[in-house]
Amino acid sequence: MATKILKSKRFGYAVVGLACAAACATAAFAGPNDNKLTIDGQEYVTELPAPEGSPFDTIYSGWRFRNEATQAMEMDDFDNPGFTNVESGEALWSKVDGEAGKSCASCHNDAAESMKGVRAQMPKWNEKAGKPVTLEQTINGCRENNLKAKPWKWESNEMLSMTAFIGSKSRGMPVKVQTDGPMKSWWEKGKKLYYTRVGQLDMSCAGCHEDNYGKMIRADHLSQGQINGFPTYRSKWQKLGSIHRRFKGCMKNIRAQPYEVGGEEFVALELYVASRGQGLSVESPSVRN
Amino acid sequence: MNVTRRQALGLGAGAAAVLVAGTAVVPAFAKEKQTADDAIKAFTGGAEAKSGKVSLTTPEIAENGNTVPVTFDVESPMTSDDHVAEVLVLADGNPRPGVATFHFSELSGEASASTRIRLAKTQNVIAVAKMSNGDFYMDKKLVKVTIGGCGG
Amino acid sequence: MAKAKPRVKVPSKAKAGEIITIKTLINHKMESGFRKDKKSGELIPQQIINKFTAEFNGKPVFSADVRPAVSANPYFQFKVKVSESGTFKFTWVDDDGSTYSTEKKIKVEG
């Protein structure tokens, strides 16, 4: 890979290539740490023998690759800045919006009951749409069809608050996405995208998150790229962000043209990446660096 | 490791960039900004800030400079005659070194606080405590900030 | 941005003379004044929470003068020695002149 980058005529890449070559050559495998994630007395599954068909022996939540200062922020809901969004989401849940004069609560009542396990199964097959839908798309579908309200923008505060609130109702539950039946072809498509090298740096998801997880890529400790904690509060973003925002960031870093947020590629990729973490506890909203 | 011509060029460019920054940019910048030392002097009125009494807890390495947890604890009985009045927290490598000044009272019980701060690069975090009798104490901790990774 | 919403954690009960821990957080972007607008290239003006105060039964307990180096969603944790029941009032002051505040009661026994 390094030689390929060095062939680039652009000077900047030569430097990147060198940094990577040096990092890859010198960095020891640091691996995930052994800390246990406990929130409110409940222990979360952050490590699991890999599900069938997985390229790994063991799968790990991204939480295990963070240092203790970052980890601590997720271990107390008060310290977790994502919880301001959970609280906003709770307020939005029962707020009447749209021409139908309804709120989420009008149909779904108590989210603690009705939304339990919802995040864990996303993206989920939608019979009417004839395709899998993400949590964001499910929420907007409900807003447009049932509330007769305007859809929220994907990365808006409202959407992040709602996905954080709904996600929090699945905390501690195992990720369980459907990959068979009508989902099969979408899963295959996601898998293909995962292994396809793209961008000027000619890299795939697998190049980092499968082949080199646990190592340092320059200053970053590479995780397996699990998505069980989204939306996640990242120090880098200083706010919550969606899975698709994270995908986009990765693609930009490898100098690729990102796919469309909410588009078929990212939905398929979200499904495939979620399936690589089957059984890990949902941590939404998690905290990362 | 064999160094290719292009790698050598890359190294040269990096070194050149450091040189430029070192000779031209830094002194010009230093003139117009208050340094951490200036800020400490302004806070203590020129009095010496002794070591001891203050203990500062920071991560050795911050995964992202945007959110670095910092805790300080100052030894003091916290009575009306003998207490910690204020604690100044500084980051000596930020474009502006001031972070926050904390004010305590008789009701504080303990002179300790935690917050989360931004660090632009690897640098020292400094806490200076002003005691009710006019003494000053300080502690300093180096925090390595990892930036420029590939964290999307 | 959305209106800032304060969060505070104060124990509801304590013993007289006990030193309690208070945690506070407010959602605020803490615009540092050092960032440039990606499109226009202009510096985005500073807008931060510049002051945080905690009072107990009207008396100042703890406060912080805050500068842009405090992280987004400013978080403060501190201690208070309580000897009587009463009400805490927490106030955050924004550069734009707005203030946000919230109150919490504590019952002190013995």
Kindly write down the DSSP assignment for every residue of C8-60, as one continuous string.
EE--SEEETTEEEEEEEEE----B-S--B-TTT-PBPPPB-EEEEEEEETTEE
Most B CBs within 10 A among C67, C84, C85, C108, hence the mutation to make, goes to: C67
User: Where is pLDDT greater, at A80 or B1?
Assistant: A80
Domain hosting residue B73, numbered range: 36-145
Q: What is the mean pLDDT of chain B?
A: 82
Of A55-59, B53-57, B148-152, C45-49, the poorest mean pLDDT is in B148-152
CA separation for the pair B98, B125 (Å, rounded): 10
Can you give the pLDDT at residue A25?
38
Give CA separation, B148 vs A88, A99, A113, A220, A251, in Å: 33, 48, 43, 8, 16
Domain hosting residue C94, numbered range: 5-109
Query: Could you tell me which of B68, B119, B87 has the C-alpha nearest to residue C79?
Result: B87
Q: Is residue B47 part of a domain?
A: yes
Can you give the pLDDT at residue B150?
64
Confidence of residue B152 (pLDDT cuts 50, 70, 90): low
Asked whether residue B111 carries a pLDDT value surpassing 90, the answer given is: yes
According to DSSP, residue A182 is labeled G
* CB contact at 8 A, A241 and A189: no
- Indicate which CATH number applies to the domain containing B48: 2.60.40.2470
Contact call for A84 and C73, based on CB within 8 A: yes
Extract the tokens encoding B18. Answer: 């450091």
Can you give the pLDDT at residue B28?
39
* CB contact at 8 A, C100 and C6: yes
**What is the H or E stretch that residue A216 is in?**
strand A216-217
Can you give the pLDDT at residue B149?
57
**What is the H or E stretch that residue A191 is in?**
helix A184-195
CA separation for the pair B85, A288 (Å, rounded): 35
Can you give the pLDDT at residue A216?
87
- Closest CB from A84, A235, A238 relative to C7: A84
Extract the tokens encoding A245. Answer: 């925002």
Bridge partners of residue B100, in order along the sequence: B89, C66
Q: Is residue B136 part of a domain?
A: yes
CA separation for the pair C75, B69 (Å, rounded): 9
CATH number of A26-79+173-288: 1.10.760.10
Interface of B with A in 1-30 (CB under 8 A): 1, 4, 6-7, 9-11, 13-14
* CB contact at 8 A, B72 and B128: no
Q: How many structural domains does chain B have? A: 1
- Indicate which CATH number applies to the domain containing C47: 2.60.40.10
Can you give the pLDDT at residue A121?
98
Contact call for B149 and A219, based on CB within 8 A: yes
Domain A83-168 fold: Cytochrome Bc1 Complex; Chain D, domain 2 (1.10.760)
Asked whether residue C2 carries a pLDDT value surpassing 60, the answer given is: no
* CB contact at 8 A, C76 and C66: no
Segments of chain A assigned to CATH 1.10.760.10: 26-79+173-288, 83-168
Report the helix count and the strand count for chain B, using DSSP H and E. Answer: 3, 9
* CB contact at 8 A, C61 and B105: yes
pLDDT tens-digit map of C27-83: 999 999 888 888 888 999 999 999 999 999 999 999 999 999 999 999 999 999 999
Q: Which pLDDT tens digits describe chain A residue by residue (289 residues)? A: 343 333 333 333 333 433 444 344 344 457 899 999 999 999 999 999 998 888 999 999 999 999 999 999 999 999 999 999 999 999 999 999 999 999 999 999 999 999 999 999 999 999 999 999 999 999 999 999 999 999 999 999 999 999 999 999 999 999 999 999 999 999 999 999 999 999 999 999 999 999 999 998 877 889 999 999 999 999 999 999 999 999 999 999 999 999 999 999 999 999 999 999 999 999 999 999 9
**Which chains does chain C touch, 3 or more C-beta pairs < 8 A?**
A, B
Asked whether residue B3 carries a pLDDT value surpassing 90, the answer given is: no
**Torsion over CA: A261, A263, A266, A270 (sign):** positive
Query: Could you tell me which of C3, C16, C24 has the C-alpha nearest to residue C104?
Result: C24
- Phi-psi region for residue C23, left (φ > 0), alpha (ψ -120 to 50) or beta? beta
Q: How many structural domains does chain C have? A: 1
pLDDT tens-digit map of B14-40: 444 433 333 333 343 444 578 999 999
Q: Please check whether residue B71 touches A, CB under 8 A.
A: no
Q: Where does A196-275 have alpha helices with state H?
A: 205-209, 243-253, 264-275
CA separation for the pair C76, B71 (Å, rounded): 10
Catalytic residue status for A142: no
Most B CBs within 10 A among A33, A216, A217, A236, hence the mutation to make, goes to: A236
Can you give the pLDDT at residue A7?
36
Chain C positions touching B113 (Cβ under 8 A) are 62, 64, 76-79
Query: Could you tell me which of C14, C28, C18 has the C-alpha nearest to residue C75?
Result: C28
> ipTM of the predicted structure?
0.94
